[in-house]
Structure 1
Amino acid sequence: MLTDRVARLLLAGVDPANILCLTYTKAAAAEMQTRLFKRLGGWAMKEDEPLIEELRTLGLTEGLEPVNLREARRLFAQALETPGGLKIQTIHAFCASLLRRFPLEAGVSPQFRELDERGMALLRAEVAEEMATGPQASLVDAVAKYLSGDAFEDMLEVIAGKREAFSPCPVEADLRALLALAEDASEDSLLACIESAERRQLLRDVTDLGLTGGANDQKAARALQRVCTQDRFALSTLAELEKVFLYGATAEKNEPFSAKIGAFPTKGLRGRAPELIERLEELMHDVEAARELRLCLQAHARNHDLHAFAAAFVEAYERKKLARGLLDFDDLIARARGLLTDPAVAQWVLYRLDGGIDHILVDEAQDTSPGQWAVIERLADEFASGEGRDPQRHRTIFVVGDRKQSIFSFQGADAEGFDRMQAHFGERLSRIGQTLQSQQLEYSFRSSEAVLNVVDATFRDHDGLGETAPTTHLAFRAGMPGRVDLWPPVPKVERAKDERPWTDPVDSTDPKDANLQLAEKVAIAVEDMIHNGSLPVEVDGVWMRRPVTPGDVMILVQRRSTLFSAIIRELKKRNLDVAGADRLKLRAELAVRDIEAVLRFLALPEDSLSLACALKSPLFGWTERQLYHLAQPRPEGQSLWDALRGAGESEALTILKDLRDKADFLRPYDLVNRLLLRHDGRRRLLARLGPEAEDGIDAFLAQALTYESEAVPSLTGFLEWRGQDEVEVKRQMDAAGDRIRVMTVHGAKGLEAPIVILPDCAKRQAPQLSPLYPMEGGRLLWACPKDDMPRLMRERREALLAAQERERRRLLYVAMTRAEAWLVVCGAGECGPESWHGSVERGLDELEAPEHPCLDGRGRRYGGDWDHLPKAPKRARRLPPKPVPVPDFGPVPPPGPRPVALAPTDLGGAKILPDEHDASTRDPEASRARALARGHLLHLALEHLPVTSPETVAALLAATEDAALAGNLSEIVAEAQALMAASHLAALFAPDALAEVDLSAEIEGVGRLHGTIDRLLVAPEAVTAIDFKTNRVFPSTPEEVPEGILRQMGAYAAMLAALYPGRAVRTAILWTHTATLMPLPSALVMAALQRAPGPGGDPTS
């Protein structure tokens, strides 16, 4: 419907950039964009008549002239070329783009990052840890005493998701008002009504009396004895007295928590001390009367502790996110709403947006939260103010929603918000003389008439659907055959504990469990459908039948439980194509565990268990026998890795050696990719585990990239980071291909299938409410244990349970309306009247659906059969192209060695005169090392002087490795200064002289050369290269210069000739010991270069 609306707007000439479509999920946004581009692309290729016919189906009856048809064909290109693309996105994506456009006004970092669920969990844990070990530890302790196990982490998640209720911290009066607690009510005033010296004596007397009675009297007496030993009564004392004096919550003959008048003490003891009974019963009445106030005071203390902690936690949590430039999903909405409502910047932002949005379309509006509505409201309010009143500018808001499908209250969805916003926009439009158009959509474009009839009958009382009257659905495809099957429930089988084999784990599921039996029946039925069943299909206006394919079947459950896993397992057991679970827990994925086993071994080669797991995995494919023969003969203390290396070469050893060699140099992502691609790991895992393993592998790689963006990459760091929290991956089941889909009803929102099976229709177990109850004014009340709830809290609990039950009814509605032609309803265990199974059965009773045989019993079926329909013609399959023979080109020769760039100093030949070695030493190598060190330091000094002071240069030289060999560093600095001060060398050290010039060039006959010239003088007519030589003994004429130096200078001349064509090239040597500048004839150095060895030659020649 939204796609049709966008198409009509584009046909009316609306700029695609001025349309904003907001969807509930990314999958819905992608699907809508795909459908729109498919339609516009089809228009671009259609002939006139088919195009006119399709435009008429959109309601266009005028303006279908050829000129307008050309405009319709151009819409595809226009949509593609829209800057930034069409704005079809989720509300969160739109808010994120809004914040990136106005980061300063929103008070966020322009480079903010969006936190995923794992990042939020780690950040919450970090904040709580800092609070627990810091000055706010008392706040943590006050709350932690009420929680155990994972409940504290769950509470942090709830607090972070409801942060607006805790900021700022509510005042004392607000907390008391939540519980209707009087201002003067206190623990002391309450206990004063119970505790007195006379009553303490009464309790001691009753205790003594009870100790002489039977077992029950003695048990009560011991409890009273503990009370009597207390120095001062407290609220916990009252709770102890209630256990003795009041009936419990499960009392049948008496009112729960009423005084045991006449029942305590027992009849036998009452006659022994009649003088105590009257006073005791008075005390019991007082304890009964005090109970409600005691519960309120304890609930108040509990909530006071929570709100104090939560306010500090939220402040620290927000501060840490701001410091790191992070925003979570709720922040995107809250910040965008603040941006659009802040008086200081809202008008400016709306002014900038006002010219860019003319039409707003909202999908699945029934699941929109109040915060999201606030953003939409501020955007659309401009349509009825300012420029929005311009009659020449047509602006609209188009909202599609169905109260009956509001099932996301746990994510903040507000089903009643749809009606509130409808009234709001109606009132706004009435101010400018316009009317809000509201249309009821009675036709279903998906389901058959039979399915819709059962839906109508099931929800005849319309309880929980948010409708004021029963809804009657009309099938758009009225003649489409359909059916609804109801299977009899699989009965629950109780087995005695001693019937279970002692070898079974204590937490294992009984093989005769009703859920396992139902899963097997569902798998058998699906297998029969695919092999023998058929589905109706319309071919040129005639209904026919076609075979069932795996992609036609969708199995929906209320929650991921034993039944969910068992169905997937049974389907796989029968080799049926199943897409797997719609959500993956990454740590439980076999492919991920196999990869992690390899990584743990690479991080610690002595980890024999991880190596054994890796070898047994599909990555290496070892059998139990192979592993046993490797591990069993090992001497004590030898690791499995040492045994593998000692067993000789193998494929596993080659792969592991390669990965170990790279483990310290590659990032975790690259290391895993090397295992998966270079060593064929991905193919092996998919071949063994099936295509559904690919989602887990890809998610693991994405986790590696996320880790590398948050921390310094290392293998051990990545493994530790992965172990901090479980990652759950959501799979897009709309792209499951031709495979059976097994998923929750929530995950199936927006999806459909020809065959839908609902196996999870038994009576639902006790519902789970959030520990924080929403109250009036946006405040939250932390719930106490059920038996400790004061009256207002109990009433609120009952209201929330009723709302949850209404949503569960809506969930059934959503589940049933996913089916196109065939709906199957079944269940295991107790399927009473309040279960989904019972609700559908009542609907079939109303429709008088007859009995129908099913797998192993008599079920019921409503609707017709289509086996009598003619078979639909098989679609022609496109044959694969014939293979083209490839010529036998022969093996590709191996690539030759890569050419190595030489330095001019590596061209061979002597670098010093024969008599230059220091005569005072018998070690020529040591003498040469000192000369090289001195030369390096002199070059370094000439490079930094005179810009750097002599003292700093001396310190720089002292910090080098050559300082120990070079001798007196002050002499070197002085020698450099003397050279720079020499008048005949002024041109070498002038400001326009280039120092330490890197050159690289390809020289024919020599190869690639790369070198550094000490000084380069560039003039319009000539370039001169000067090289510094620190030789103590040097020649008197150029012809006596050592061969190696001449080759080096020849190389410089050849490279400069290539770089400066048309200029004369000169070379010279500066003998630094005497500051002598010796020009070298060009013919001399070039002749020496010709004598240098070619590429690959011997440089010693």
Structure 2
Amino acid sequence: MNDSFDFRTALDPSRSVVIEACAGSGKTWLLVSRILRLLLAGAKPGEILAITFTRKAAQEMQARLLEWLNVLALRPEDEVREFLRQRALDAHEIDAILPEARNLLERVLTAEPALTINTFHGWFLQLLQRAPLGEGSVGNFSLLDQTAALQEEAWQNFAEDLAAQADGDPAAAALQALFREYGLANTRTLLLGFVAKRAEWWAYTAGEADPVAYAVERVRIELDVDPEQDVLAELWLDTVLAGWLVEYASILGENSPTDQKLAMQLVDSLALENAHQRFEQIWAVCFTKTGTPRARNPSSTQAKRLGADKEMRLFEFHQQLCFALYEAHDRLAAQAAYRFNRDGLLCGAALLAAYQRLKEARQMLDFADVEWRVFQLLSRSEDAEYMQYKLDSRYKHILLDEFQDTNPLQWQVMQSWLSAYGAAGNRPSVFLVGDPKQSIYRFRRAEPRLFQIAAEDLARDFAVARLEQDTSRRSAPAVITAVNRVFAEQPDFSGFREHACHHEDLPGAIALMPLAEKNLASAGSEGGLVLRNPLLQPREEDEDVRHEQEAEQVAEQISAMVGKSQIMDEKTGPRPAEYRDFMLLVRGRTWLASYERKLRAARIPYLSSRQGGLLDTLECSDLVALLEFLVTPFADLKLAQVLRSPIFGCSDGDLMLLATPTSPNLPLSPARSVPAESGSTAARSGEAGEEPLVSPLTRGEQGGLGLSWWQRLRQLDGEILSPSLQQARALLRSWQALADRLPVHDLLDRIYFEGNVLARYLAAVPEAMAGAVQANLRAFIELALNMDSGRYPSLARFINEVAALRRAPGQESPDEGLIGDGGNAVRILTVHGAKGLEAPIVWLLDANTAPRNDGGYRVLLNWPPQAPAPQYFALLSHKAELARAHERHVNEELEHARRENLNLLYVAMTRARQMFIVSGCAGRASETWYQHIHRNLAEAGLPEELPAGPFDAPDLPLPLVEEQPRLLPVPPTGRRETVRLDAARLYGIRVHALLEWLRPELPLEGQAESMRAKLALDEDSFAPLWRSALDVLEAPELRHFYDPAQYLAAYNELGYQGADGELRRLDRLVEFADSVWVLDYKTGASGGNPEDLAAPYLGQMREYRDAMGSVFPGKAIHCALIFPGPVLVEV
């Protein structure tokens, strides 16, 4: 182990610290340990503010803190001392704080205000909710998580409004100009991209009376352009240039055949009337299609043809003409860029205004609104000092996690608060952790350069200690060696320091698989040209199967390694590799289907991270079809899908029975009226909802369409229906009756319970897919609850919203459900999605492709990390209109993109614990990840093939798994009934609650009023309850059960799982030195023989005694019933 990190300084509660920590170094451990040390040093929980990047990370920090607090409270002293020693406390310090450590869990759980662990956006919302009215206060506004649908609606409103405007409206004219020059798709991409950068736009134009005019003028100054200048007219009026062109054409006409053709083209262009056409043709003579000057090099043959003098003049004319034409081209590009920005900025601001009006009307805020409002609240509003004072008085300790993912506006918010301290002596402690090498969220406006800026600012104002943690506690030496080799000498990867390895004896390897070669099946390649009949024979086209070959290689290698390669498990030690040990990483999802297809063919279970793919899964499609059927019961296809789904498991024969028109010989139910379907007019109008039963033949003769499947299912006699169809008819009729009465979530809850949905789907899928299917089913019902907080008034409205989500971009559609441990399945993730995760074996797929550069029709932004606002905000169309003044901004973006591409590779490599494998397809791309790794490993002489030794484990057995469970038979289902509490039962519940809430160690009379308020009762109703509770707590014979001085521990409403899997609860358990008592309150029974009263509960108490006997071995277990009086009956 090589770990010289200064943990004592890092965890010192009195020090402010900035830590740059590499991947796998335990940043979460550091953060939570720091919080723990702050609490042990006496900090109040409410004084601590911990900010992280994602809600998942915040939940993980919260869970780990509570886990550690439980360790301090409940574990043996030796274990607690070792726990504290690991967190840089010496023996003397441990002795001093040990009593406080034991009570820390209670102090944190009961703290008011509580400890804050949140994301930036979550914390910002809290600030806005506490802001003075009128200054950024959110009032009754709700948070808009998904913006695509609302932006689409804003786009429609914006376009319709401008279409209705008079011809002289500037915005309407600008939009028409954009449509005419660039097309609808490009214009829409541009303007929606402008809306996506709304926070930067607000910061750039803050304080300006006319933001659009200000931004357009800044563009004009940057481009140094005169919009009214006639560039080509001035060019063609230049007599010197005209002379050059004529003489240049003459010399070209005497040169090679190629130049003679160019000379003829040049002469023809000089005769053109149209100035733009003339410029384009002359440009083509002097420049290549890529925009570079044609090469003109001296040669003996050329000198012989032209003579030395003419050859020299040819070069001079070519150079002068290229320079003049390039200057004119640049001025034309600048004018085009100016017009593009003038129209685009005007329309973008108008679309943004329409979007903001739409949110305002619906009382919604998105994340950009939240950030901007908080920034204004803390830096520019009249209440800024007041809010800063409130923050100063609340928070004394600030912890910032994953700081490399912070955007400039978030840092401006923090900086405006922290800079307000000035030279005051009550500054908070700051603990900042991050790693610029792992900044991969530029598309979310993350700015990794802020880490260095923030560290320097904090060093100046807060005297922070700067630490570097470069020891990986995750990866094997082989992986870390490869990481060091790949990134150490990379010029575009500044700031990299050589990594060390904590697990020096962990076996590992790096492997580069052979690239999949291009293998095309070309039509007619063997016999030459082959004539074909196009009406009978389709054209044979070349098919690129490289990714299929790569996917097949992946599947074969995984199959070969599972059960044979050895994994060093931290919990169980050496074991054979399982599917769960593999993590497949991709840059994008383009070829995901190819990899999934080959894994399925090889019978390899996998979990794929399809972004926004929840609604595309089969199980959720079944549920959507079910809900659509309940709204439109005449939809036969929806009913067929539901019946064939695992919910009912009907056979093809069942569906054929419904699909076949009813025969006169087919048994029908007794003559009766069929209730109108829930979608019918009668049902909606509130009538009785009865319609006469009509035979399909009669309806067909009348010109009708015949009975629907649902009508047939209700019509047929039950004796000819299979059990599955009988079950379906009963349940669907019940659910149809509830569809208009229950909220969607409650309806789905009823469907899940009565249809036994989870169990039936688990029985219908392979075991490897069970976890994913179960997670998706739960995610769907959660979607119904989360969608607009479950406020949709009708099932039809919910279905419409689901349809809109299905059409939404992938990043805004609901993702598939999260699976607990993933099951025994290969995980396929994007590199972005894998951040924060790890696996024993990581395989980077499609690694021989170059990243795609940012396209056109986007915002061109320059926001230096140290600047309070963007320094430049413009729009970029396409390469042909890229002005020279904009090239430097574009080149800066390309530099940032190159660095982020290397950051992605760093993140991918550092996910691996033991083995990192790379594969790809052969191609012409240069500077790919595959080439970069191969070149650096080859130069270092490191192995690049799969090892045969350290990972072989042929004698380690793999457990066999049943892969094809059969479908469960249709289970009987019940119906949830509303539980109505009678007075006696309600009385008992309330007495139980008082006995649970009251604290006997404190004066009881002083707790009466708070207990009454908690039960929300008047004094007359509360009095008998209070008396019953006091009778128990004050009884002398029961005092030892409630006096903390007389027992070791006591628990109210203690839950445990019985042998049958059911949850049980003990009213009170009291532990003494040599015994344990289980107390059960019986408030409803009184009078009579105590033994007779206790008789009905003997079995229950016997179960309690048996269960607690295994929990407290070596102690006598006593069980007792407490009847009113109080009367204690031990059983």
Under TM normalisation by the shorter chain, which class is it? 0.5 to 0.7
> Which residue identity is paired with 2:560?
D
Indicate yes or no: 2:726 matched with 1:693: no
* Matched ranges for 1:672-751 at <5 A: 672-688=748-764, 690=769, 691-705=771-785, 713-724=793-804, 725-726=807-808, 727-730=812-815, 735-739=820-824, 740-751=826-837
2:56 aligns to what SS in structure 1? helix
> Which residue identity is paired with 2:233?
L
> Aligned pair in 2 of structure 1 residues 158, 719: CA closer, same or farther (>3 Å)?
same
Indicate yes or no: 2:317 matched with 1:249: no
| Aligned residue in 2 for 1:638 | 706
Tell me whether 492-501 or 787-796 shows the greater mean CA deviation: 492-501
Indicate yes or no: 2:89 matched with 1:36: no
Q: Does the 8 Å contact 1:175/1:303 carry over to 2?
A: no
| Aligned residue in 1 for 2:576 | 547
Q: Does the 8 Å contact 1:579/1:736 carry over to 2?
A: no
Q: Quick one: which of 755, 760, 772 aligns to 2:859?
A: 772
Q: Does the 8 Å contact 1:403/1:466 carry over to 2?
A: no
CA deviation string 1:214-242 (max 9, x = no partner): 999999899979975x7xx6xx6577556
> Aligned pair in 2 of structure 1 residues 506, 864: CA closer, same or farther (>3 Å)?
farther
Q: Quick one: which of 335, 349, 369 aligns to 1:331?
A: 369
| Aligned residue in 2 for 1:445 | 473
Q: Does the 8 Å contact 1:44/1:72 carry over to 2?
A: yes
- CA distance in 1 between partners of 2:624 and 2:285 (Å): 59
Indicate yes or no: 2:482 matched with 1:487: no
- CA distance in 1 between partners of 2:928 and 2:138 (Å): 50
Q: Does the 8 Å contact 1:120/1:328 carry over to 2?
A: no
Q: Quick one: which of 821, 834, 837 aligns to 2:914?
A: 821
Tell me whether 571-580 or 548-557 shows the greater mean CA deviation: 571-580
Q: CA deviation at 1:72?
A: 1.0
Q: Does the 8 Å contact 2:81/2:94 carry over to 1?
A: no
- CA distance in 2 between partners of 1:554 and 1:142 (Å): 49
Q: CA deviation at 1:589?
A: 2.4
| Aligned residue in 2 for 1:947 | none
How many residue pairs match? The answer is 827
Q: Does the 8 Å contact 1:585/1:728 carry over to 2?
A: yes
| Aligned residue in 1 for 2:437 | 404
Indicate yes or no: 2:631 matched with 1:610: no
Indicate yes or no: 2:107 matched with 1:75: no
Q: CA deviation at 1:38?
A: 1.3
Q: CA deviation at 1:575?
A: 4.6
> Aligned pair in 2 of structure 1 residues 701, 597: CA closer, same or farther (>3 Å)?
same
Q: Does the 8 Å contact 1:95/1:333 carry over to 2?
A: yes
Q: CA deviation at 1:177?
A: 4.3
Indicate yes or no: 2:936 matched with 1:843: yes
Q: Quick one: which of 861, 865, 875 aligns to 2:950?
A: 865
2:398 aligns to what SS in structure 1? strand
Q: CA deviation at 1:747?
A: 1.3
| Aligned residue in 2 for 1:994 | none
Indicate yes or no: 2:570 matched with 1:534: no
Q: Does the 8 Å contact 1:763/1:835 carry over to 2?
A: yes
2:900 aligns to what SS in structure 1? helix
Q: CA deviation at 1:827?
A: 1.8
> Aligned pair in 2 of structure 1 residues 387, 843: CA closer, same or farther (>3 Å)?
same
> Which residue identity is paired with 2:754?
R
CA deviation string 1:986-1037 (max 9, x = no partner): xxxxxxxxxxxxxxxxxxxxxxxxxxxxxxxxxxxxxxxxxxxxxxxxxxxx
| Aligned residue in 1 for 2:387 | 349
Q: CA deviation at 1:505?
A: 15
- CA distance in 1 between partners of 2:976 and 2:796 (Å): 38
Indicate yes or no: 2:507 matched with 1:477: no
* Matched ranges for 1:1013-1092 at <5 A: none
Q: Does the 8 Å contact 1:451/1:822 carry over to 2?
A: yes
- CA distance in 2 between partners of 1:367 and 1:414 (Å): 6
- CA distance in 1 between partners of 2:199 and 2:714 (Å): 60
TM-score, with structure 1 as normaliser:
0.67
Q: Does the 8 Å contact 1:827/1:837 carry over to 2?
A: yes
| Aligned residue in 2 for 1:273 | none
* Matched ranges for 1:236-385 at <5 A: 241=281, 247-250=287-290, 254=294, 289-382=327-420, 385=423
> Which residue identity is paired with 2:901?
R
- CA distance in 2 between partners of 1:553 and 1:59 (Å): 36
> Which residue identity is paired with 1:781?
A
> Aligned pair in 2 of structure 1 residues 194, 285: CA closer, same or farther (>3 Å)?
farther
> Aligned pair in 2 of structure 1 residues 896, 555: CA closer, same or farther (>3 Å)?
closer
2:850 aligns to what SS in structure 1? coil
Q: CA deviation at 1:90?
A: 0.9
* Matched ranges for 1:957-996 at <5 A: none
RMSD (Å), alpha carbons: 4.7
> Which residue identity is paired with 1:492?
K
| Aligned residue in 1 for 2:673 | none
- CA distance in 2 between partners of 1:893 and 1:402 (Å): 55
Higher gyration radius (CA): 1
| Aligned residue in 1 for 2:896 | 803
Q: Quick one: which of 55, 79, 89 aligns to 2:118?
A: 89
Question: In percent, how many aligned pairs have the same letter?
Answer: 27
| Aligned residue in 2 for 1:463 | 491
> Which residue identity is paired with 2:940?
L
> Which residue identity is paired with 2:401?
D
Q: CA deviation at 1:133?
A: 4.6
- CA distance in 2 between partners of 1:194 and 1:703 (Å): 66
Of structures 1 and 2, the one with the larger relative CO (CA 8 A, separation 6+) is 2
- CA distance in 2 between partners of 1:26 and 1:896 (Å): 36
Tell me whether 836-845 or 215-224 shows the greater mean CA deviation: 215-224
Indicate yes or no: 2:447 matched with 1:417: no
Q: Does the 8 Å contact 1:443/1:474 carry over to 2?
A: yes
- CA distance in 1 between partners of 2:86 and 2:354 (Å): 57
1:579 aligns to what SS in structure 2? strand
> Which residue identity is paired with 2:706?
Q
Q: Does the 8 Å contact 2:479/2:916 carry over to 1?
A: yes
TM-score, with structure 2 as normaliser:
0.65
> Aligned pair in 2 of structure 1 residues 48, 487: CA closer, same or farther (>3 Å)?
same
CA deviation string 1:310-347 (max 9, x = no partner): 22222333333334332111222221121111251111
| Aligned residue in 2 for 1:791 | 884
Q: CA deviation at 1:193?
A: 3.8
> Which residue identity is paired with 2:915?
W
2:84 aligns to what SS in structure 1? helix
Q: CA deviation at 1:43?
A: 1.6
- CA distance in 1 between partners of 2:659 and 2:454 (Å): 70
Q: Does the 8 Å contact 2:198/2:352 carry over to 1?
A: yes
> Which residue identity is paired with 1:396?
S
CA deviation string 1:144-200 (max 9, x = no partner): 44555655554344222211444443436854646743354524354354489999x
| Aligned residue in 2 for 1:181 | 223
- CA distance in 2 between partners of 1:489 and 1:411 (Å): 33
* Stretches of structure 1 lacking an aligned partner (at least 5 in a row): 268-277, 390-394, 430-434, 852-858, 876-890, 900-1101
Q: CA deviation at 1:101?
A: 1.4
Tell me whether 445-454 or 519-528 shows the greater mean CA deviation: 519-528
CA deviation string 1:242-291 (max 9, x = no partner): 676554424788169x9xxxx9xxx9xxxxxxxxxx99999999665422
Q: CA deviation at 1:808?
A: 0.5
Tell me whether 67-76 or 344-353 shows the greater mean CA deviation: 67-76
1:106 aligns to what SS in structure 2? coil
Q: CA deviation at 1:368?
A: 1.0
Q: Does the 8 Å contact 1:772/1:781 carry over to 2?
A: yes
- CA distance in 2 between partners of 1:590 and 1:452 (Å): 41
- CA distance in 2 between partners of 1:693 and 1:141 (Å): 49
> Which residue identity is paired with 2:621?
R
